């Protein structure tokens, strides 16, 4: 699901300025059962900025998690317009992952006879990500800051 809005008017004194700020909100989920991963996940993504492209934001996930698609979708039936302008946008993502198996985290013997140690835990169960994205075809810079949340509840018995 995707909701979007564009345009913002700013007025300071007698000066009026129209800034084309776009926003969108996406809600999604994924499920996987297989030999690479077995998991469920859900996320809410809010993007805002100038020139927000269609599609999804690139999130640096380990193999087997997330969408590995180019986040900029272009209609092949339409001529390319506004392709070479600068785009700067931000995203805020809240995610929940339930992972029972992830091959990259399991560890085990390697091809050269060594041993790859298992990770102490799977990647974040509860995550909040903030990203800054600067794009001008054919180059892009994507910076993402991730916070793994751990909620612990303690009860005091008297």
Reference 23, options 101, 97, 90, 121; nearest CA is 90
pLDDT tens digits for range 115-145: 888 877 676 788 899 999 988 877 888 898 9
How far is Cα 16 from Cα 72, in angstroms, rounded to an integer? 32
pLDDT given for residue 9 in this prediction: 52
Fill in the DSSP letter of residue 57.
Answer: -
> How buried is residue 84: exposed, middle or buried, by Cβ count under 10 Å (0-12/13-18/19+)?
exposed
pLDDT given for residue 156 in this prediction: 46
Tokens representing 64 are 């087997």
pLDDT tens digits for range 35-45: 888 889 898 98
Quickly count: other Cβ atoms within 10 Å of residue 43's Cβ: 19
pLDDT tens digits for range 87-111: 889 999 999 988 888 887 888 888 8
Average model confidence (pLDDT) for the chain?
Answer: 76
Which pTM was predicted?
A: 0.69
CB-based contact 22:5 (threshold 8 Å) = yes
Question: DSSP H helical segments within 117-158, as ranges?
Answer: none
pLDDT given for residue 13 in this prediction: 58
pLDDT given for residue 69 in this prediction: 55
Q: Where are the domains of the chain?
A: 2-149
**Cα-based torsion angle of the residue sequence 34, 151, 127, 91 in order, rounded to the nearest 10 degrees:** 150
The residues that bridge with 31 in the sheet, in sequence order, are: 40
Reference 47, options 16, 18, 25, 69; nearest CA is 25
Bigger pLDDT: 92 or 81?
92
> How buried is residue 37: exposed, middle or buried, by Cβ count under 10 Å (0-12/13-18/19+)?
buried
Bigger pLDDT: 64 or 8?
64
Q: What is the mean pLDDT of residues 144-151?
A: 79
155 pLDDT band, cuts 50/70/90, is very low
2 pLDDT band, cuts 50/70/90, is very low
């Amino acid at each position: 699901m995707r909701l979007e809005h564009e345009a913002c008017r700013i007025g300071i004194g007698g000066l009026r300025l129209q800034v084309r700020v776009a926003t969108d909100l996406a809600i999604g989920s994924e499920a996987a059962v297989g030999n690479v991963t077995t998991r469920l996940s859900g996320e809410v993504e809010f993007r805002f900025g100038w020139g927000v492209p269609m599609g999804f934001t690139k999130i640096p996930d380990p193999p087997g998690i997330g969408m590995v698609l180019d986040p900029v979708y272009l209609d092949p039936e339409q001529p390319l317009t506004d392709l070479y302008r600068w785009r700067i946008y931000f995203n805020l993502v809240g995610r929940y992952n339930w992972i029972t198996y992830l091959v990259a985290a399991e560890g085990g013997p390697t091809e050269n006879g060594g041993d790859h140690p298992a990770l102490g835990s799977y990647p974040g169960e509860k995550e909040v990500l903030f990203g800054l994205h600067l794009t001008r075809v054919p180059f892009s810079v994507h910076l993402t800051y991730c916070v793994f949340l751990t909620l612990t509840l303690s009860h005091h018995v008297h």
